[in-house]
Amino acid sequence: MADSDPLVLLRQAIAAKQPIVPTASSDPSTSAVDLAQATHLAFPESSLALPISTATRFVTGDQPVDLRSIYFAWLNRERAIPDYNAAATALNDSLPEGAGVRNLGFVGRLDLITWLEGASDSEYIRPLAGDEGDAAAAPGGAAAAAKVGGAAAAAQARAGKGTMDPRLASIYSGERKMGDRNTALRGIKPTDFSHVRKLAVPFLTKKPHASHSSSSQTMALNQKAPGKRPDPIILLSPSASALLRLSNARSFLQEGRFVPPDTSSSTASMLHLQRSMPGIDPTRPLRFILVEGPEQFKPEYWNRVVAVFTTGQAWQFKNYKWSNPNELFKHVLGVYVGWRGEQAPDNVRGWGHRVLSTGVDRWMGEGHDASRFRDKEVVEQIWKAIEVNMNNKGWRRDAAPTSI
């Protein structure tokens, strides 16, 4: 029976790196189709094709999960929870009425994936028919042999330390071995939960009686002791088309080398940079706080904003203190970073001299560092404009402006 069990077939194919093909026919040799059009899941190496609606032994909420949902969860195992949910919704929209994938919960999906990758057991998978009965019906067989073997192993582990009492060895063989955090999560593959923190920030910040700050961003923005100059703030554009994001801002603004924002998997919501500005403080560098939005701002934080990076899209300023770009750039320096040789968007040019328009050379890929020599020139131009603007607004060695 195990030879045709969907979960066993899927696990064996994954372990052997064999193809698993969604098809529109019961013929295992049929070519693959999109999962939304598939009626069967074929295992060509086993010459089997199972209906994709087949119920499996994986049970959640007292309901067996179908093979389509199991295979979909495996295909999307690397996705974060929001992306997985969105993909499931998109697939369900393209399936016929009455068909659809089960949206597995986080714990259930983690349990399934680690079992498919080789974990020894699963609390959601029911045993194959006959497994429990065979074990119970043969106390002198496999179960007894396992106990004897465990006792022998325990006794052997004390070789050279004296003979262990057989009864004590039998007790030791029944001990449950403790694991580390990875085995507790039913797998050996480290799991990155860093995205959960970013998703939780909007909910935590709404708690009015919290005894501490709800996020590191709020804590850093609020660091202002009496008589101490607060840290200036730079707002980056949250647009996906922006060339400068939190993921590559340090490389560009501090190290003078541009890399595309999608080359880093950072999920940070805030960044600190240090920059020497002798015209403001000749004795120590200034620390700048970089964020992509003013969601954590208090009203007084706006007096510390020294630059706003923009792509020319006006929706960026919707939640700003000054939502009109022409008004905003009367108070704050604007910076546009585009590709060298390309004209800035009409909006940016329409906002006039209050927005510094710059361009960097196109990214040629890793190993072409020699082509990035002009990046530092652009960075110095940006910092010089920020320093001049800060001087004009009243930034000093021991004080920040009370109004901009």
Please answer whether residues 383 and 275 qualify as being in contact, where contact means their C-beta atoms are separated by less than 8 angstroms.
yes
pLDDT bracket for residue 355 (50, 70, 90)? very high
> Which of 113-117, 148-152, 251-255 has the largest mean confidence?
251-255
The residues, any chain, with a CB within 8 Å of residue 213's CB and separated by 6 or more, are 219, 222
> What tokens were used for 390?
């800060």
Question: What confidence score (pLDDT) does residue 376 get?
Answer: 92
What's the rounded Cα separation, in Å, for the pair 161 and 155?
Answer: 10
pLDDT bracket for residue 139 (50, 70, 90)? very low
Question: What confidence score (pLDDT) does residue 148 get?
Answer: 43
Query: What is the SS3 assignment for 338?
Result: strand
What's the rounded Cα separation, in Å, for the pair 390 and 304?
Answer: 9
What's the rounded Cα separation, in Å, for the pair 307 and 232?
Answer: 9
Vertex 220: Cα angle to 215 and 224 (nearest 5)? 135
Please answer whether residues 390 and 277 qualify as being in contact, where contact means their C-beta atoms are separated by less than 8 angstroms.
yes
Whether 4 shows a pLDDT value over 90: the answer reads no
> What tokens were used for 381?
């131009």
Please answer whether residues 60 and 112 qualify as being in contact, where contact means their C-beta atoms are separated by less than 8 angstroms.
no
Question: What confidence score (pLDDT) does residue 176 get?
Answer: 66
Question: No. of H helices and E strands in the chain?
Answer: 14, 11
The residues, any chain, with a CB within 8 Å of residue 302's CB and separated by 6 or more, are 294, 321, 404
The average pLDDT across 192-200 equals 76
Vertex 362: Cα angle to 359 and 365 (nearest 5)? 145
Domains, the chain, with CATH or none: 2-116 (no CATH), 140-173 (no CATH), 222-393 (3.40.50.11990)
Cβ–Cβ contacts within 10 Å for residue 171, how many?
Answer: 12
> What tokens were used for 180?
């580390």
> What tokens were used for 279?
């015209």
> DSSP string spanning 248-285?
HHIIIIIT-----GGG-----S-EEEEEEETTTEEEEE
The residues, any chain, with a CB within 8 Å of residue 153's CB and separated by 6 or more, are 173
- DSSP state, residue 214: S
| H-only helix segments in 98-141 | 106-116, 131-137
Write down the mean pLDDT value for the chain: 80
Question: What confidence score (pLDDT) does residue 225 get?
Answer: 46
- DSSP state, residue 396: B
Q: Which amino acid appears at position 309 of this protein?
A: F
User: Cα–chain-centroid distance for residue 400?
Assistant: 36
pLDDT bracket for residue 212 (50, 70, 90)? very low
Question: What confidence score (pLDDT) does residue 217 get?
Answer: 55
Looking at the chain, the whole-number percentage of residues with pLDDT higher than 90 is 25
Whether 310 shows a pLDDT value over 90: the answer reads yes
Please answer whether residues 320 and 329 qualify as being in contact, where contact means their C-beta atoms are separated by less than 8 angstroms.
no
Higher pLDDT, 386 or 227: 386
pLDDT bracket for residue 180 (50, 70, 90)? low
Which pLDDT tens digit goes with each residue over 257-278?
Answer: 898 888 766 667 788 999 999 9
Please answer whether residues 202 and 217 qualify as being in contact, where contact means their C-beta atoms are separated by less than 8 angstroms.
no
Report the range of poorest mean pLDDT among 156-160, 180-184, 359-363: 156-160
Question: What confidence score (pLDDT) does residue 60 get?
Answer: 86
Q: Describe the strand order of the beta sheet including 271-277 as a list of residue ranges.
A: 271-277, 281-291, 233-235, 305-310, 333-339, 355-360
Which pLDDT tens digit goes with each residue over 67-81?
Answer: 989 999 989 888 888
Q: Is the dihedral of CA 361, 364, 365, 370 positive or negative?
A: negative
What's the rounded Cα separation, in Å, for the pair 155 and 79?
Answer: 46
Question: What confidence score (pLDDT) does residue 157 get?
Answer: 47
CA dihedral 256→257→258→260, nearest 10 degrees, is -130
Question: What confidence score (pLDDT) does residue 142 get?
Answer: 41
The average pLDDT across 104-121 equals 82
The residues, any chain, with a CB within 8 Å of residue 342's CB and separated by 6 or more, are 359
> Which of 82-96, 123-137, 231-245 has the largest mean confidence?
231-245
Q: Is the dihedral of CA 121, 122, 128, 131 positive or negative?
A: positive
Higher pLDDT, 198 or 260: 260
Report the range of poorest mean pLDDT among 24-33, 55-64, 139-148, 181-190: 139-148
Which pLDDT tens digit goes with each residue over 224-244?
Answer: 444 578 899 999 998 888 999
